[in-house]
Amino acid sequence: MSAMDDIAAMLGPRLSRGASVCEQHGRSEAHYALAPPDAVAFPETPEEVAAIVRACAADGTPVTAYGTGTSLEGQHLAIRGGISLDLSRMDRVLAVNAEDLNAVVQPGVTRTRLNEELRATGLFFPVDPGADASLGGMAATRASGTTAVRYGTMRENVLALQAVMADGSIIRTGSQARKSSAGYDLTHLLVGSEGTLGILTELTLRLHPLPEAVAAATCRFPTVADAVNCVILVIQSAIPMARIELVDEMMVRGFNLHSGTDLPEKPHLFLEFHGAPTAVAEQAAAFREIAAEFGVAGWQDATTTEARSALWAMRHNAHYATGALEPGKRTLATDVCVPISTLAEAVVEAQDLARTMGLTSAIVGHVGDGNFHCGVRVNPEDAAEMARVLDFSGRLAETALRLGGTVTGEHGIGLGKQKYMAAEHGPALAWMRAIKAAWDPANILNPGKMLPPES
Ligand X SMILES: Cc1cc2nc3c(=O)[nH]c(=O)nc-3n(C[C@H](O)[C@H](O)[C@H](O)COP(=O)(O)OP(=O)(O)OC[C@H]3O[C@@H](n4cnc5c(N)ncnc54)[C@H](O)[C@@H]3O)c2cc1C
Interacting residue ranges for ligand X, rule: CB under 6 A: 29, 64-72, 75-76, 87, 107, 129-131, 133-134, 136-138, 140-141, 143-145, 194-195, 199-200, 319, 410-411, 446
* 301 HSE (CA, 13 A, CB side): 10
For 36, the enclosing helix (H) or strand (E) is: none
DSSP 3-state of 383: helix
Comparing CB distances to ligand X, the nearer of 197 and 284 is 197
In angstroms, give the least distance from the CB of 47 to ligand X: 15
In 3D space, the residue among 165, 162, 143, 164 whose CA is nearest the CA of residue 152 turns out to be 143
Q: Are 126 and 111 in contact (CB under 8 A)?
A: no
In degrees and rounded to multiples of 5, residue 158 shows phi and psi of: -105, 120
Comparing CB distances to ligand X, the nearer of 312 and 420 is 312
In angstroms, give the least distance from the CB of 173 to ligand X: 13
Residues facing residue 93 across a β-bridge? 105
Question: 281 exposed, middle or buried (CB, 10 Å; 0-12, 13-18, 19+)?
Answer: middle
In angstroms, give the least distance from the CB of 198 to ligand X: 7
Residues facing residue 377 across a β-bridge? 331
For 102, the enclosing helix (H) or strand (E) is: strand 102-105
In angstroms, give the least distance from the CB of 151 to ligand X: 13
Rounded Cα gap, residues 128 and 188, in angstroms = 19
Residues facing residue 160 across a β-bridge? 174, 204
Comparing CB distances to ligand X, the nearer of 133 and 359 is 133
Comparing CB distances to ligand X, the nearer of 185 and 212 is 185
In angstroms, give the least distance from the CB of 418 to ligand X: 13
In angstroms, give the least distance from the CB of 194 to ligand X: 4
Q: Are 290 and 269 in contact (CB under 8 A)?
A: no
In angstroms, give the least distance from the CB of 120 to ligand X: 25
Side chain identity at 367, as an amino acid letter?
V
In 3D space, the residue among 206, 81, 155 whose CA is nearest the CA of residue 410 turns out to be 155
Comparing CB distances to ligand X, the nearer of 66 and 312 is 66
In angstroms, give the least distance from the CB of 171 to ligand X: 13
DSSP 3-state of 44: coil
Side chain identity at 98, as an amino acid letter?
A
Comparing CB distances to ligand X, the nearer of 76 and 266 is 76
Comparing CB distances to ligand X, the nearer of 123 and 133 is 133
Comparing CB distances to ligand X, the nearer of 71 and 351 is 71
In angstroms, give the least distance from the CB of 367 to ligand X: 13
Comparing CB distances to ligand X, the nearer of 129 and 267 is 129
In degrees and rounded to multiples of 5, residue 414 shows phi and psi of: 50, -125
DSSP 3-state of 255: helix
**Beta carbons within 8 Å of 215's beta carbon, 6+ residues apart:** 272, 273, 280, 281, 284, 301, 303
Integer angstrom CA distances of residue 302 from 211, 219, 307, 358: 16, 11, 5, 36
With both helix axes pointing from N to C terminus, report the angle between 343-356 and 224-236 in degrees, rounded to the nearest 10. Answer: 160
In angstroms, give the least distance from the CB of 285 to ligand X: 29
Comparing CB distances to ligand X, the nearer of 141 and 218 is 141
